[in-house]
Structures are given as C-alpha cells and as structure tokens.
Amino acid sequence: MTSLAGRRIVLGVSGGIAAYKAVEVCRRLVDLGAHVSPVLTQGALRFVGETTFSALGSERVQTSLWDEVSPIPHTRLGQQADLVLVCPATARVLGTFAAGISNDLLTATLLATRAPVVVCPAMHTEMWEHPAVQDNLALLVRRGVHVVPPGEGRLAGGDIGKGRLAEPVDVVAAVQRLLSPKPLAGWRVVVSSGGTREPIDPVRFIGNRSSGKQGHALASEAFERGASVTVVTTVDRPLPAGIVQERVETAEQMRQAMMAAAVDADLVVMAAAVADFRPVDPAAGKIKKDKGVPQIVLEPTPDILAGLGSIKRPGQILVGFAAETSDLRDNALGKLTRKGADLIVANDVSAPQVGFEHDTNQVVILVRRPGSDEVEAIDVPLDDKRRIAAAVLDVAQSLRSGEHQHDNALG
C-alpha cells in the first residue's frame, strides 16, 4: 500500500447525501500518513458535522473565507496542497469550478492551487446525465482535472442508477496513484484510438462501432503514470490537458500518423479498430438511390500493426489489439506471431458488456517476453476500461524492467 506520509491533501466536502462517505475517506488518508485539511461547504454541514472531520483530520475544519485565522485561507490551502480532493463533488461545485467562480472557501481554493485536483461526482442519475453536468465535467478533464467516476447502485430515496459516489477505497486509491512515483516518467507513448472510416462517397463510409473509450483510457493511464503521450484518434473524446492529439479519419491517414509518431516512442499501443477493407474508387458525389444498387469494389487497407512491427527498434514495446467473436486465444496468438508485437490484448466483443461502446471490458493479454519462446496468457476479468488499461500498462512496464509476473504459458 502506497504511503502518503508527508503529503498535504485538502479534502473538500460538498453538500450531498454522499458526504457521509467522506468521513471514511478522511480516516483512510490520515491512516496512510497524509496531512488532511478538511474544507466543508455550508451545504455539507447539513449532512455531516464539523466535529467529526476536525477529530479525524489533521487540522480543524475550515468552512469560510472570512472567519479563519489566516486572512487568505484559500491561498494558504491552495499553495501548500500536494493535492485537492473534492468528495463528494455535487453538480453545483462542478459547475462553479468549471465556470471559474469562487463563491466559497472550497471553490476559491480550487482556483488558488496548482496542485492536482481530483473530483468525485455524486448525484442522482437524472442530474448526472444532464448535458450541462457532462459538459462541465468534460471541460474540467480538458483542463487536467482528474475524475473518479460514480458507480451504479442504490441512490438516495431508494432509486437505483448511475451517480452513486465511488467507494472510499477507490477514491483513496486514485489519490495514491496520483501522488505515487511516476513509473513511466521519461517514456514516450503513442496510442491509436477509435475506428477508422473509409469513404464510399462524401456521405457514406465503411466503419465499425469502436468508441475509442479503451484507447483513451490507455492514453490517460499512461499520462497519469508520467509518460509523454500522443494519441492518434478518429474520435472526439475528452483527454487530460497535456496529451497531444492528432485527428485522423481513414486507415491510410492513421498509418502515416502512427508510423511517424512511433519512430521515437518507447511504447506504441495500436488500440484503434482499423477497417480491413476500403472502396477502391470512392464516388466524388453522393450516390443516389434512384441510380440503382452500386457495385462497390473493395481492397485491403494497410496493416498498420504489421508495419509498426517491421520498424520496431530494439527496446521499443509494441502492443496490438484483437477484437474477436470466436477462437479468441488462437486468433490472438496468430496475430502476436505474424505482426511482430510484444503484447496482444484480445477480447470477445460478442460477450455482454465487453468491447465496443461499453465502459467495461474483459481481455486476455498474450505476451512473449524477451529471450523466451513461450507465450503467457494473462486473463483480466470484466472491469472498468481504465482498470483494463492499467493491467495492460503493468505488463508493458514489466517487459522493460525484465520482471516475470505470470506463469500461465501457452503451449
């Protein structure tokens, strides 16, 4: 368990019923050695008491810009913090923070810090799904704010749905990850994401259902681990500030971008779902229905993963993906052998809650370690795509360090 000894954390608690869980978060952070400064909003005081957090925290609770010992408490808190954690983060706090409004001690502290900020949204499903809330959250993510997403389960009033505050153990784990040493510091990582579109005419295209969620999760996880990250993507999804994005559409555009970006990369992750075929002669204008059924002649698209494997330099790690519907391991093993990759991450996209468009995934990672002819199979059970990303990067890191963590060899 990663110690937080000597780390100063501002724990902001806003006014939602989930504020009671912040008591456990506070206790766990202090137990790990952190100096916790609790800041409660007036709304939070309707759900939890000052005495509880003053007793469990490292200093007494602060609630106001005006009645503290320091004449500028938000500046003191913001400058001294190693991290600011808002748990729970209500829709009001997210909106106020996104708009840059400082109307209480907590929001003023959020604007007065250069430390990492972690928000843990918690609200009813209807509020969580409101476009204004999602837009505010996307804006904060683009600015570099870290989000511990809510879970799904029992809500206030007995309702069931999305919006339940993440469990305290998961909140604390996110803080530990951010404040722990950066294992990918100095690494240059390139990730492809999304599904390519091959034009039939200016309106229609051949494509697939890839949402880019897994590729973006890999990029975000690598960035959080300290890497310099470039994402070559076909989709517009939020990414932390500091990640370089290059937008492409077709397989050929992605090939050119990936081949160029991979030259100096330490880790190349080919997570995008690339169309296998494209029209030989796309129409210059929209094909009209009254002209009859068109004859569309297809040709293979470039094999980007094989191309990356052909130029892979010593020490570089190449990760490929295999989206399958049958013979998962056999197909993935063949791909690992043919494409020159070090890892293949395979999933059965026909399984429930796995693969395209879902927030969850279940994969098997096939890896051939340097100097070995055997291939290991590492099963990663159904989980959030960010945790799947973490598992993939753990294996990639072990290749660089020469660690041997698993013994599930394929014959």
Structural domains in the chain, sorted by start: 8-179 (3.40.50.1950), 188-410 (3.40.50.10300)
Give the span between the Cα atoms of 83 and 175, in whole angstroms: 8
| This prediction's pTM | 0.72
Q: Residue 88 — φ and ψ, nearest 5°?
A: -80, 160
Question: CB–CB of 370/383 below 8 Å?
Answer: no
Mean pLDDT to the nearest integer, 278-284: 94
Residue tagged active-site, from 103, 136, 208, 361 = 208
Q: Which residue has the tokens 């295999």?
A: 322
347 part of the active site = no
Tell me: the pLDDT tens digits for 316-373?
A: 999 999 988 888 888 889 889 899 999 999 998 888 888 788 889 999 999 988 877 7
Burial of 144 (0-12, 13-18, 19+ CB in 10 A): middle
* Predicted pLDDT of residue 405: 44
- Alpha-helix runs per DSSP H in 143-202: 168-179
Dig out the tokens for 252 from the structure.
């050929």
Tell me: the pLDDT tens digits for 99-140?
A: 999 999 999 999 999 999 999 999 999 999 999 999 999 999
> Which of 181 and 77 is assigned the larger pLDDT?
77
Q: Residue 168 — φ and ψ, nearest 5°?
A: -50, -40
**Cβ-proximal residues to 319 (8 Å cutoff; 6+ apart), any chain:** 267, 268, 269, 270, 271, 341, 342, 343, 344, 345, 392, 396
Tell me: the pLDDT tens digits for 15-74?
A: 999 999 999 999 999 999 999 999 999 999 999 999 999 999 999 999 998 876 777 899
